Amino acid sequence: MSLGKSVARIGKLSSVYLIGSIIPMIVGFALMPVFTRYLYTEQMGIVNLSARIMGPVSILIQLGVLYSLKSHFFRMEASARPQVIKTVLVGQIVQAGLICVVLSVAGIWISGAMMPNLPLSPKMVLGLWLIVIWGCFFFSLMRVGTMLMQLLERAVACVSLKLLKYGLQVGLGLVAVVWLGWGGLGRQQAIFAATVVAGAVAVVLVKRCSGGGRFDLATYKRMLATGISFIPHTLAASLSLSINAWLLNKLVTASALGVYGIALAFAQLMEFPLASFNNAAYPTLAGLMSDGGREARRHQSRLYTLLISGFAVLTLGVAMFAPILIKILAHARYHEAALVVPVLTVAYLFQGFYVVAGVPVFYVGGGLWLAAATLSGLLVNVVLAFLLIPRYGMYGAALAVVGCFATRFAVIAVVGQRKYPLPWQVGAIFRALAAAGVLAAVDFFVAPRLAFLPAFGLKVLLLLAVAPLMWALGVVNTREVAWLRRLVAEKTRSLLKRPRS
């Protein structure tokens, strides 16, 4: 497949995934004035801490089986896939259910320590713990569905499932928070109910894809053995933000966590396109790596240069405009989050680098090497959090995340090059980062001195200047700019039509 066709294929799929990300983003922006008005910062802290706990618990009950499926899917015969799909589904239901029962009983003793400093009674904390644990169970079933749809390149089905969950979550959340006045606990109950429905629908989708497949214990054991090797990596990756939030809640206040959560939510907007490109690009990149020839490696390296350049532009855009959006959309009690967002966007830039550099390691099944990167990042995060949070509060938490993500990237970049050497276009990548950095510096030093409208206009001009500047620096060539122009035009037209997977 030519470079142009690879870019077009990735762009086609990622545009569908992006639609599934953009819709919740727009709705979330529209509803932020509502939720930040009705939820005080400590109530928002309940929601944020619950979300951070759900991350590692979901990974624990999945036992890495889904990541094993992703690693093996394109290396197995098509005839074997229905049996593997059915095996993963049944295995996930049984293993996740058993682990959730154990965690539910353990919550009698550990829920207070896991959820400290919340404005809830001990009984309500235990109830929140049970909601979080069983929410993770149904979320794991939803993950089976969405990952399978991604691997089959059925982007519309994947996005529809995610939008179903989000739509229910928003609707029920508004009822619980605005109409019934149930606060943060009520919003978490709404999230749980939406996850139950999405998990049930995912089971139906996966069963249809399994065809005549059946559960096979030997296959499950093999998948589990591979999947377990990914647990240290995925668990450490999730624990980084979870421990960061837990320490901020423990060492400062739930209110500080509530404000920090708003800043983190804006910085995590970068994850939507990152995830969309990653989901869309993996089949193409896996195909190039299965070829493994010199031209395929050169092709892959060029794709990486374009992806990293895109991440730099994305970081610049979020860092410039998220603080403005926070002050417009969020209640005044949350406005301090605007000062934290630029720091967190730097962290997510490193996360984008990590995603790119980690693809070859993931492809060869190097779960333990991925674990080395994420565990190193987790260690740096914990050390920095203990040192910085007591003194700088949420700013210290944000700096700890930067250190964590930068460490992840540094480790995996070395490992990835050893596992699958690529002719990286280092010069072009540095020029792309330098271009974004110069524009960010102009915004940082000039925009605060201007009134709102001139400052906003300056930010727009700086963002529009990125593409011609990168072309002038030789980061992208004329042919690639033409591809991008055609792709944007096609996707703009496709927004008026029903996208196809």
Length of the chain equals: 501
Residues 286, 348, single domain; the answer is yes
Query: Does residue 265 form part of some domain?
Result: yes
The Cα–Cα gap between 296 and 283 comes to 14
Question: Would you list the DSSP string of 127-186?
Answer: HHHHHHHHHHHHHHHHHHHHHHHHHTT-HHHHHHHHHHHHHHHHHHHHIIIIIS--HHHH
379 in the same domain as 239: yes
Residues of the chain whose pLDDT is less than 70? 1-15, 18, 75, 272, 275-283, 365-367, 480-501
* Residue 385 lies inside a defined structural domain of this protein: yes
CA distance 245 to 261: 8
Residues 183, 293, single domain; the answer is no
Please check whether residue 24 lies inside any domain of the structure: no
Same domain, 159 and 246: no
Opening angle at CA 12, ends 10 and 138, nearest 5: 85
What are the pLDDT digits (tens) for 32-61?
999 999 999 999 999 999 999 999 999 999
368 within some domain: yes
Shared domain check, 188 and 113: yes
Q: Assess whether 268 and 381 both reside in one domain.
A: yes
The pLDDT score that the predictor gives to residue 495 is 44
**Domain-embedded: residue 416:** yes
Same domain, 252 and 138: no
Q: Tell me, yes or no, whether 15 lies in a domain.
A: no
As a dihedral over the C-alpha atoms of residue 12, residue 13, residue 14, residue 17, rounded to 10 degrees, the angle is 130
Q: Domain ends where: 207, 228, 249?
A: 228
Q: Residue 338: count other Cβ atoms within 10 Å of its Cβ.
A: 19
Number of domains, the chain: 2
Is 25 domain-assigned?
Answer: no
* Short-list 335, 328, 202, 347, CA closest to 269: 347
For residue 132, count other CB atoms closer than 10 A to its CB: 25
Distance CA 38, CA 51 (A): 19
Confirm whether 9 is domain-assigned: no
Q: How far apart are CA 374 and CA 411, in angstroms?
A: 9
pTM, entire model: 0.81
Domain final residue, candidates 213, 228, 243:
228
Residue with tokens 């984008």: 352
- The answer to whether the CB of 357 falls within 8 A of the CB of 422 is no
Match 């480790």 to its residue by tokens. 411
Domain check: are 268 and 129 in the same one? no
Taking the CA atoms of 105, 108, 109 and 111 in sequence, report the sign of the dihedral they define: positive
pLDDT confidence of residue 499: 41
Distances (CA, A) of 62 to 55, 96, 219, 457: 11, 6, 16, 47
Cβ(302)–Cβ(3) under 8 Å?
Answer: yes
Nearest-angstrom CA–CA distance, 318 and 302: 25
The first and second tokens of residue 290, run together, are 């299965």
Same domain assignment for residues 354 and 303: yes
Is the same domain home to 265 and 357?
yes
- Domain, as residue range, for 437: 229-501
Using the 3D structure, point to which of 169, 199, 228 is the last residue of a domain.
228
Mention every residue, 6+ apart, whose C-beta is less than 8 A from residue 154. 501
202 and 238 belong to one structural domain: no
Domain shared by 237 and 207, yes or no: no
What are the tokens at 263?
């800043």
Other Cβ atoms within 10 Å of 181 Cβ, number: 9
Q: How far apart are the two ends of the chain, measured CA to CA in Å?
A: 19
At which residue do the structure tokens 């540095």 appear? 430
Contact (CB, 8 A) for 67 and 363 = no
